[in-house]
Amino acid sequence: MPRTIWKYHLHTAAYTEVDLPRHAEVIKVEQQGAILGIGDIYLWVILDKANVTDLETVAFSIYGTGDEIPDGDEYIGTFFQGPFVWHVFKRKEPADATVDRTAGGE
C-alpha cells in the first residue's frame, strides 16, 4: 500500500489526545512557525493511505527535563521552545487529566 507523511498538531498542554490512523508511525516531533522562539508543536507520522479513516485515540504527554515519567510510556522525541527543552512521550494509558483533543491531519 502507498504510504505518506501527515502532520498533526500537538497542543502544548501537559497532556493531549490525538486521533491518528491506526498503525501510524510517529517519525518526528518539532515546533514550527516559531516567533520569538515559541511555535506550535507538531507530530509527523507515516501512514498507510488506505487506512486514514481507521482512527485510534493516542494519548501524549509533554515533560520538562527532570520531570517524572510514568513507567511504560514510549519516548517520541525532544523539542526546543525558546529557552525550554521538552520531551514528548506516547502514554501507555490515558492520564486522569483535562484532555485537550485534536483530530485530523494537515
Residue with C-alpha cell 525558546? Answer: 82
Q: Please give the C-alpha separations between residue 16 and each of 3, 33, 49, in angstroms, as whole numbers.
A: 25, 20, 24
In 3D space, the residue among 40, 29, 106 whose CA is nearest the CA of residue 74 turns out to be 29
Q: Where are the domains of the chain?
A: 3-96
Task: Compute CA distances 9 → 5, 15, 40, 54, 63, whole Å.
Answer: 14, 13, 7, 19, 17
Taking residues 30-38, report their average pLDDT.
76
Residue 103 has pLDDT above 60, yes or no: no
| Greater pLDDT, 11 or 10 | 10
The per-residue pLDDT for 60 is 94
Does an H or E element contain 78, and which?
A: strand 74-81
- Report the predicted TM-score, pTM, of the whole model to 2 decimal places: 0.79
Section 78-103 average pLDDT: 74
Tell whether the model's pLDDT for residue 75 goes beyond 90.
yes
